[in-house]
Structure formats: C-alpha cells, structure tokens
Chains A and B, each alone.
Chain A
Amino acid sequence: MKALSLRNLRKTYNNGFEALKGIDLDVEAGDFFALLGPNGAGKSTAIGIISSLVNPSSGTVRVFGHDLQRERSQAKSCIGLVPQEVNFNQFETVKNILLNQAGYYGTPRKLALQRTEHCLKQMELWDKRNTVSRRLSGGMKRRVMIARALVHAPKLLILDEPTAGVDIEIRRSMWKMMQEVNQQGTTIILTTHYLEEAESLCRNIAIIDQGRIVENSDMAGLLARLHVDHFVLDLAQPLAEAPIIDGYQLELAADKVLNVAVPKESGLNNLFGELTQRNINVISLKNKTNRLEQLFMDLVETKSAGGKQ
C-alpha cells in the first residue's frame, strides 16, 4: 500500500517561478522517508501541495489511495502536518490547541480529550497543558506542533524541518519520539537540513533539486555508493609533515591532527598498521563529514553542473 503517490506534480507561481517541474514520488505505508534538497529546491512547495496549503498547477496527489482533488476529505483525514514555522494561536492554551485541531478533523469531544492527553504525554507536555502557548520554550513549541499533528491519529505524518533551531538534547529526544510514532505504524515523511538526522532515522530517501527528483532510493543503498570516507585522526605526538602511505590521502590539518581519505577497498586496518610502523599513535578518530551530507553535496553539485552546461 502506498501512503503517498505523486504523479507529474507541477507548480508554477504567479511570478513565473517554476518550483516543481513534474515530480513523481512514491512512499510506502509504514516508511520513515526523507525528502531532502537545498533551499529553494521545491521541498516546501511539494509539502504545501500535499497538505493543501498550495494549489498545484497540474499533476495528481494520492494519499493512501485517495485522490486529493476528488476525495478531499478522506485524503486530508490521513495527513498530519508539522510545519517549519510555529503556526498555532499563541494566545491559546496547549490543550485547547490540540482540542481545536481534533475538532476540525471531526473528532468527538470525549475522544478528542483522550487523544489530547495521550499526545501531550507522549510529547512530555502534559504538565504544560494549561499554559498559554506563547510562554513555552522553542523546543516545547515544536513538540506542541508534533502533538497537534498527531491528535487526529493520522496515517501519514509530514515533518517539515521539525528540529530546526532546537538544541541537540531536545533534537535527540524528538528523534526518539518520532521513531516511536513510526514504530506505532504511522508513515513519516521528514524534510531536514540536518543530514545526520535523515541518515539515522530514515529508511528511504528522495533528493529534490531545482524542482526535480534527482535521487530516490533506500538509504543503505545510497550510502553504499560512497566510495571514499573522510576521517579526522587526533594524534598523541605532533608531526612535522603528513606521512605518505600508498592507497590513502593524508593531510596535516594541525601539528597533532591528521585528515585522511580512506577508499572503501583499502579499509582502516591497513592504515592503522602503516601508522603504527611509523610510530604514529592515534588517540581518537571521527568522521570528517557526515556520509549522507557528502553524497548530498555530490548529487546536488553534479546536477547543478549538468544544468549549467
């Protein structure tokens, strides 16, 4: 069963800007799906169309088999949206924000109260239920938006940069919450600029650039295409210059910091053997860049270069 199916989706704004140039996309039910792309690539327009905030120029959107144009109520009932910007009534209490949203979806009052309690507890906001929302911290406001999107029990949850601007501790706790929601059977589509977030949470991925899908595959398959990993090594003793080791590219970033490019076929064991032979002791090692970030840049830059030719 497909949770979402886009066919030849196009959007040209009144000023003539073509934000979407005919995209096709399928998201399976139960998936945790990443929709990535640089700023202005068309992600927000696509999400806006799926969630009925933007009128498409042409193309079709089906949500769990329901056509968004012809079976509007059924399609919309399946969707919960967490937008980029805080968009709830800042003068309303947290509880009323959720109760009103449940009401818009036709949820009877008794059930709405039960779901509100469940969602606020799930998002660790139950003790803030009677607080006027403008008094909440940034991280809490983000969680209110997730709770609000979940209150009508949607089958498809769209998270548009849900962790933008929140500190790492809150971001990690939000990841845990999102994973729990996905494990309970809700399909999730996530857009984010934190590629580490997409890599650790999502099973499938699409990359959109300049209004077109430039990549659509499973996360593991995409990452396997990365041929070279970049690491940073912290050394015990300072070096005057970078050692030369066949099969690896080494570069001295500071007197006790070594950058190294490791081809997949060479691996790390051989590198450490060579370093040990040269009496170079490594204290710690970390990835120089996030693997998905590297792939993302490769894909987007390749496409941009292709477009300019």
Chain B
Amino acid sequence: MNHSIAFRTIVIKEIFRFIRIWPQTLLPPAITTALYFLIFGKLIGDRIGTINGASYMDYIVPGVVLMSVISHSYANVVSSFYSTKFQHNIEELLVAPVPNWVILAGYVSGGIVRGLMVGFVVGLIARVFDDVAVQNWWITLSVAFLTATLFAMAGFINAVLAESFDDISIIPNFVLTPLSYLGGVFYSVTMLPDIWQTISIANPILYMVNAFRYGFIGVTDIDIQLAFIMTGGFITVLALFSLYLLHKGTGIKN
C-alpha cells in the first residue's frame, strides 16, 4: 500500500490546524521576540559591548530564533497529538492501515513546519532591529531543521505519555525553558565559571544554539561536527523510542 497519501493527509491537517489558529500560534512569538530584541538587543545590548567579536544584538539573534524553533516545534506536536488522544480521534488513525512510522513522521513534520515558520517570522523581525546576515545558509538551515525535528519528536513522546493537560505543560515550563535560557542564547558559555561550563556541556540545546550561531555569524563555543553528531544521535534515540511506544500502544491503546 502507498502510504504517501496518508502521510500527506496528516501533514496538511497539522499545517491547517496551526494556521487556522494563527493568533495563538504565529502571532505571540512575533511579539515576544520583538520585545527581546528591543530590550535585550537594543536598550541593554548597546551597553554590553561585544561577545567573541560580535555585537550583542548579532550574538543573541541566532539564539532567540532557535529558541522559537525549539519551543514551537515541541508545542505543536505535544498539543496537537495530546488533543487527538484526548478527543479519541487518534482512533481514526489506529483503525486505518497507517503504519506507526507514518503517524510519527506526519505529526513530526507538522511540528517541523510550524517551528521553521515561527523561526522565519522571528528572523524577519530580527531584521527590523539588526542587519545581521547569514554567513552559511547550509549550516543554518540544516541546524534549524534538525533542531525542529528533535524537539517535535520530544513533543510527540511527551504527548504519548501524558495523561492530563498538566502533563503537557510540565516539560515545556520546567525543562525546556530553563534548558533554552541556559543553552547560551544570551551569553557565551566561556563567560561562566568552570563548574557551570562543565555542567552546561550536558545541555543539548547548547550545541544546537552554537551550531546555529556559527551558521549565522561564524561564532561558536563548541565543535560544529560534535553538534551535528549529538543532534543526530538524539533524533535517532527519540525516533526509536517513539516507534516503540506506538508499537506497544502506550497511552493510546487499551
């Protein structure tokens, strides 16, 4: 059986879902990041000076863009798949001859599209405040794509395991946000005391933010190859775990 139609159906459904509710999905990140750029970039940033040879505004733009990609690719999948579970219309997919990998790929693709669209919108807003230009498009786009994939998949696992709406807000609020802020979005990890530098190495977001910043302005605290390997490794592990959960029917079958 050709599963491309089923895959396309899920992806289109997901894209229409977040576009239909654009005041909840696309508008808030535009406003929030505009405030970031105005307050941290322009008002405070001008007094900070440079980091690793880049102006503070140039330095934070890639991190803020990637932070938006992370939170929105995650949020899209976790809220959409959990709602599907909550309303029981996940049964439409379970009854149909849709393989688990198509279900996973469909929802994750929806999350990737939203993450990248929000990243694009935030990038456009950054251009209003700063004339930062991308130095290496290939690295920038591939890091954005891989990061969106990774966090869309993490959102999927969260949704599968969640048993209440509280469960889908705990990880974004208490894990994802702190990791993003401590992942070198607003500062260079080399500015931290040694002990905090060592602890930061365990934060996967640090690698992605630095790789993305390298693509943007050519500045990084970590090895780019290592960042790609780490991200690819995390994606592989999360994909296998997601497929295992779907195969077992955890949270979606009796």
Contact = CB atoms under 8 A, between A and B. Distances in A.
Interface of A: 13, 45, 48, 51-55, 72-74, 76-77, 79, 81, 83, 85, 87-90, 96, 99-101, 103-109, 148, 152
A103 B1 CA distance: 12
A77 B91 contact: no
Contact of B92 (A45, A48, A74, A88): A88
B91 A87 contact: yes
Contact of B253 (A54, A85, A99, A105): A54
A103 B6 contact: yes
A106 B2 contact: yes
Nearest to A14: B254
A189 to B, nearest CB: 14
A105 to B, nearest CB: 5
Interface stretch (B28-36, B48-56, B93-101, B118-126): B93-101
> Which of B89, B98, B99 counts the most A-chain CB atoms under 10 A from its CB?
B89
Interface in B1-55: 1-3, 5-6, 8-10, 13
Contact of B5 (A76, A87, A103): A103
Contacts of A90: 87
Given A53-B253, A103-B8, A76 B88 contact: no
A88 B95 CA distance: 13
Nearest to B252: A53
Indicate the size class of the contact surface on chain B: 20 to 34
B249 interface: yes
Contacts of A45: 254
A57 to B, nearest CB: 12
Contact of B1 (A77, A85, A101): A77
B88 A100 contact: no
Contacts of B3: 106
Interface in B54-92: 84, 87-89, 91-92
A148 B5 CA distance: 17
Interface of B: 1-3, 5-6, 8-10, 13, 84, 87-89, 91-99, 249, 253-254
A106 B95 contact: no
A79 B92 CA distance: 12
Contact of B254 (A54, A88, A107): A54
Nearest to A44: B254
A157 to B, nearest CB: 12
Contact of B95 (A53, A85, A103): A53
A106 B6 CA distance: 6
> Which of B5, B95, B98, B253 counts the most A-chain CB atoms under 10 A from its CB?
B95
A106 B97 contact: yes
B88 A85 contact: yes
A75 to B, nearest CB: 8
10 contacts: A48-B254, A53-B91, A53-B95, A72-B97, A76-B95, A81-B95, A96-B13, A101-B92, A104-B6, A104-B92
Nearest to B83: A89
A96 B155 CA distance: 25
B23 to A, nearest CB: 15
A125 to B, nearest CB: 17
A89 B253 CA distance: 18
A222 B198 CA distance: 77
B88 A105 contact: no
A13 B249 CA distance: 13
B238 to A, nearest CB: 23
Contacts of A96: 13
A53 B97 CA distance: 12
Contacts of A13: 254
A106 B253 contact: no
Given A72-B97, A104-B9, A106-B3, A55 B249 contact: yes
B91 A105 contact: no
A83 B99 CA distance: 21
A73 B9 CA distance: 17
A98 to B, nearest CB: 11
A101 B96 contact: yes
Contacts of A54: 253-254
Contacts of A83: 88, 91
Contacts of A100: 9, 13, 92
A51 B96 CA distance: 9
A45 B254 CA distance: 9
Nearest to B12: A103
Contacts of A107: 5
A238 B109 CA distance: 76
Contacts of B95: 51-53, 76, 79, 81
A87 B1 contact: no
A203 B113 CA distance: 51
Contacts of B87: 87-90
